[in-house]
A and B are shown apart, each in its own frame.
Chain A
C-alpha cells in the first residue's frame, strides 16, 4: 500500500467523523496560557466556522483511524464497508491540533476512533494523544475524547485527567436496537462505562483533605449520542431513554443524530433522507425536560402515536392538548407555570418576573420582551388583555402552525 499524505488522511478521517453530532466546547474549567503553553478556555464555547449543513465547527473532529473490527450497520466505518481506510500517527494528530489552534481555526480536539486490534490498544493511543497535548505541549484548549466503552476502566480514569469531556455513545435508544444494528456491542458494557465515568467525576470532585483543591477530572462532564430513525423506536421511548440517561449518568447532553445516508451502505439498513425535523423536535423536547420542568412522560402524554408533532414545537403541542390550564396570568403565575406558555423562553420568563415587580404587564409589554407575541397571545392574560374564547378555538393549531419554508439555495 502506498503511503498517503497527511492531507489525504485528514480528508478520510474527518469525512468519517462527521456523523458525530457534538461539537460543544463549553462548560469546562477556566484556564489560559499566560504562564506558559498555548490556549485557553473561558467557559463559553466558540464556533469558529459553520459548514453548509448549519453545524458549528468548534473542534478539529477527526478519527484516529477508521479501521474498525466492529460491524455496525449504520456506520460508514463498519468492517464490511468498502470505504477508504487511513490511520493517523499520534504525532500527526498532535501537530494538526496545534497548528490549527495557533491560527485560531479551532477550540481544540474532538478525537474519536474506529477500534483497531483491541479496545485497549485504541483507547490507549487516544489517551496518549490527549496526554501529549496536555503535558508535553501544555495545551490549554478543549479536548473531547469519544471513549471506547469496551476498554479497561483504568483507561477511562486516565482519559479524564487530560480530557475536558468524555463521551460514550449509547448508539441507539433501545437495547434491542443495539443488538440488531450493532451486534458486537453490548448495551450493558456501554452503561457500565458511563457509570465508571460518573463515578470518577464524583470521586474526584470531592476536595482532598490535604490540598482542598478539586483535582481536574473531565471538567466538562460526559455526554452521549443516539441515532434516530435507523430503527422504528418512537419518540416517547427515545425521551424515556434520555431521561434515564440524564438521571443515571448525570450527562451534560444527550445528542440525537438523525440517521444519515452514508456512502457504501449496508444491506441491513436501507438509506433515506435524514429525519432532520424529527431530530430538531427531539432537541426541543430534550430542552423541555432539562430547562422547563417537563417530565419525559408529560411531553407526549395524550399523543396518539408517541411521536412528536413535526409541524409545531413540542411545547405548543403540549399546550394545545392541555388547554384547560390556560390562559395563564403573566402578572401572577409562578415561574413553573410561565415556563409552560408556548413561545416564552427561560430568558423571557426571567424578564417578566423582574419587570412585574415594578410594573403591571400589558400585552404590549410582553410583546416588547419576546420575539413574537402571536404564539403567546392565546395562552395568557395580561393587564387589559384576555384571550376570551381564543384559547379554545378549534382552528388554533392551524393558526399557530408556521408556514413551511423553502430552503434557500443561492
Chain B
C-alpha cells in the first residue's frame, strides 16, 4: 500500500509541478502581451492626438482601453488555467505531448482518486511505478494559446528601445502625452480673476483717445501697437500671476496677494488668459480664454483721376495729373512717380505738397523736362501714397499706372511717307487704267464714255489726295522743302493736263483729241510716279541718316556723361547714364527695324545702294546694341576706359553707315536730277574759269603794283626827295596838332572822329616814312574827313581843341595837295606803267563782263530748273561790283588800290562756287536735333546777360575802328556820316 501511495504521490506531485510551471509561464507571457498592448495603445493615442489635436484624446479613454485589454488577457489566461484545475486534464495534456505513457498516466491519476480493489494492486503498483519512472525522465511544458508566443517579448524589447531614442518619433508622441497630462494638470475651468478692467492706449498715428473697459468679460478688437493696461482682482490669494497669450507670457504685478495689474503692447491677436500661482503653490491657468482680434491698418488707396487713360502728347513739357488718396488712419506722404518705360529702376519722384489728411484729392502739373524726356519716349506714371503707421512703418498704396507717349514728329512723318507710297500705288493703278483702257489690244475693252468718266474721277481723286498730303508735308519738319516744292510743281502740271482733259470732254471734241489729251495726262502721271519713287527712297534714306545722326549724338552725349561721371561719380549721373544707354539701345533697335522695313518697301533698284545692301551694318548695329549691355557692367565696375573704347568701336559702325547713306543720297540725287547736275556742272566749270581769270588779273595787278611801288620809291628817293621830306615835316606837324587835342573834351561822334583822325595820322606818318605815297594819300584823305568833322562840329566854347583841329585840317589839306602833286609827277614819270594799267583795266572789265554773262546764265537755268531756285546770284553781283571798283582804280593808275577790290571779287566768286557745289547735293530737311526737339522754347533756360556780357569784345571794337578808317563805299558816304551822327544823338 505504501509503495503505491508513494508512486501516486510522485506522479501527482509531478503533475502539479507541471501545472504550476505552465501557469507561471502563461502568466508571464500574458502580462507581457498586456504590456505590449498598453504601449501600443499609448503610441496609437499619441499619434492620433498629434495628428488631430483638436479632438480631445481623453486619458480616461486610454485607461479604459488599457483595462479592457488587461481584462481580456487575464480572462484568457484564467480560462486556460481553469482547464487544468483537474490533474486528469494535466495528465491528458502530458500524454498528448508524450506518447510513451500509453494512457498509463491518465490511469494512474484515475486510480489515485479511486483507490479500490477493483483492480489488482500489484498491477496498479507496477503501473504507478512505471509511470512515475517515465514521468521522472521526461520534460513536459504546457503551452498557452497561440498568441502568447515568444515574438511578443521581442516586440516589447523593441518598444522599450524606441522610448530610449531621443527625439524619436515615439518620444515625441510620448512627450505630448506628458504635456497633455501636464496641461490637463493645471487647467482650471473657471476664471481666476474678477473685476477686470482694461485701458487701451491707441497708437499715436490713429489719433484716438484712450479707452477703458471695466468689468470686461468679452472679446476685443484692437489695433497692433495698442498698449493695454489692465487691473484685476484674483479670486484667491496668489503669489504670482501672468498673462498668457499664445507663446507670450507677460508677468503681472501683485499687490496684497489679490490685486493684479500690468500692461503690455499688443503685437498680435489671439486668445489670452490669466495664469496664477496660488499661495499653496498650485499653478492655475484659466480654461476659458479671452480673445483679442487685431484691427487691421490697411494700406492707403490711391486713384489716379487724371490722366484717366494712356496718353499721347506732342509736347513733352508738362503733364497734368489728378488723384485721390485715402487711408483709414491718415497719410504721411504722396508722390507722383515717373519713369521711362522699361527703366523702372530709375524713377523720378515728384513729391506732392498737400495737406495730409485721411482723404486727399488734389492735382499737379509735372514738368517733364526734368527727366530729359524726348520725342518718342514712353513714360510710366503713377501716384503712390504712404500712410502714417507708426507701428510697422508706413504702408504703401499705389494707383494704376498710366503710360504717356511723347509723339515724335517722326511718327507723323512716317505716316505721311506711307500715304505717299499708297498714293503711288493708286497712281500706278490709274496709269495702268489709262494706258490699257484705250489700247486696241486690251482683251477686256470697256465702253469709252463710261471709261472716261471713271478715269476722270480717278485722277481727280489722286489730285485731291496729293494736295492734302502736300498740305501736311508743309507742316512736317522732317520733309525737305525742295521735295514738297518739286511735288507741288509736278502736281500743278498734272492738274493742268487733267483740267485740260475735262475741258475737252465738256466741249465734246473728237476721240482723237481726247486720246491725245489722255496721253498727256498719262505722261504727267508717269513723271509723278517716277519722281515719287525716287523721293520715297530719298526720304527713307534721310530718315535713316537722321536716325544715324541721333545715334551719333546719343553716343557723344553718353561719352560726355561717362567722362563727367569719371570725374565726379554720383548716383544721379549714373542713373542718367543708364537711362541714356537704354535709349541708345532702343534707337539702335529702331534703326535696325527701319532698315529691315525699308528693304522690304523700297524699290528694288534702290536696294542696290551700298548703304542698304550691307547687312553687315545691320549686324553691326545688333552687335553694338548687345555691347551696350556690357557697357553697364563696365560702368558698375568703374572700368571707364573700356567703356569709352567700347563706345568708340560702336561709333565705327555708325560712322560707316552715315557715310554710306550720304553717298547713297548723293547717288540718288544725281540719278534723279541728271540734267540739273549737268547744268550745275557747267555753271561750276564756268565759275571756275572765271575764278582763274580773276586770279590771273589779280596776280598781274599785284606784280604791276609792286613794280609801280618800287619805281615810285626809287623816284621818291631820288628825284622827289625834297618834296617828300617836306611832306614828312608836314605830317609831323599834323601829328603834333592832333596830339594836342584834348580827348576828354570829345564825346560821342567827335570821339569817334578823333579816334579816326589819330589812327589815320599815325598811318600817314608811317607811310610817308616808308615812302608809300599812295597809301599815305589814302590815310591823309581819311584823316582830312575826320578833321573836317572835328573842326565843324566841335563846340565853339572849347577853342583850344577846336583850334588844333582846324589847324590840323589845314595841314592835312596841304599834305593831300602835295601828295596829289607828287603822285601826278610820279605818275607822269612812270608812263610806261600806264599802259600796263590800262590793259589790266580792260582785262578786269572782261572778267566782269563774263561774270555778268554767268549771272544771266544762272538766271536762265533757274527758270528751267526750279530746284535751282535757292541758289542766290548775290555773290556774282558782289563780284561784279568789286571788279568794277578794281577796274576804276586800275584806270586811275592805282594798282595797289585795286588789289582789295580784286580780293573781294575772288571771295565772292568762291562763295558762288560754294553755293553751286551745295546745290549739287540733296538738301535735306532742317531737322532739329533731339535735344532741340525735346524742349519747347518756353521751357529753355533764359540766360540773362550781366553787365560784363554787355561789353563788346576788343577784337570787335578794333574791327569797327579799322572799318572807320577805311574809305566808305561810293554812294554810301552820306549814310556813313549819318550813322555816326545818330550815334551821338
Do these two chains interact?
Answer: no
On A, residues with C-beta under 8 Å from B are none
* B contact residues vs A (CB 8 Å cutoff): none
